[in-house]
Amino acid sequence: MNLIRWAGTFDKNMEQETDTEQSPNQIDNCQWHPNVETRLSCSQCGKSICTQCMIQASVGIRCPECGKGVKMPTFDVQPIYYARAIGAGVGISIGGGILWIIFNVIFGGYGILSSIPVLAVGYVAGELISKSVNAKRSNGLAYIAAGAVVGAFIIALPTSPASGSIWGLIVLAIAVYSAAQRVK
C-alpha cells in the first residue's frame, strides 16, 4: 500500500515539474548575428546561435568557437616536416639521377628501356619522403615528391636517349603521379 501511495506522489511531482518545463522558450539573439532571433544554443557553452552559425557535431549543435575542427595528426604538417621532405627530395634527386645515369650507360641502346628507371625513382621518392615525415600527407609534400622525380630526370637527361620522346615523358608523368599520390 505504501508503494502505491509513493508512486502516486511521484506522479504528482512529475506533473508539477513538467508543467514548469513546458513554458515557452525565451527568444534570444544570436551571439554572432545580433539582429537574428533564435532559440538554438550551443550544446557545450550555451551561447545563442542561429542556423547560419551552427555547426553540426556528433554530440549536438555547437557554436563556431566550440565546433572548430581539429586537424587529424596525419594532415597536420609542421615546417620541420617540410624541411625533412626537402632534404630527402634533394637526396632522392641526386641519388636517383646518378643511378639512372648508370642504368643508361649499361642499357642506353634499348630505347624505351632507358626511361624505365624513372618509375623506380617515382616509387622510391614517394616512399622515402613518406617515411622521412612519419607518413604525414599534404599537397606540399606531393609537390616535393614530384620535384624530386623531375630533379632526377633532369640530372639523367643528358644520358637518356628516350627521355625526350613522347614515351619517355609519359613514363615521367606516371612516375611523378605515383610519387605524389604516396604523400598526398
Between 163 and 133, where is the model more confident? 133
Mean predicted confidence (pLDDT) in 76-88:
95
Q: What is the DSSP letter of 79?
A: H
What pLDDT is attached to residue 164?
65
Those residues whose C-beta lies under 8 Å from the C-beta of residue 79, and which sit 6 or more positions away, are none
Residue 6 has pLDDT above 70, yes or no: no
What pLDDT is attached to residue 73?
81
> Per-residue confidence at 163, pLDDT binned at 50, 70, 90?
low
Q: Which three cell numbers stand for residue 161?
A: 636517349
> Per-residue confidence at 65, pLDDT binned at 50, 70, 90?
confident
How many whole angstroms separate alpha carbon 66 and alpha carbon 58? 13
Residue 151 has pLDDT above 50, yes or no: yes
Q: What is the DSSP letter of 38?
A: E
Please report the DSSP string for 16-73 in residue order: HHHHHHTSPPPPEE-SS-TT-EE-EE-TTT--EE-TTT-EEETTEEE-TTTT-----G
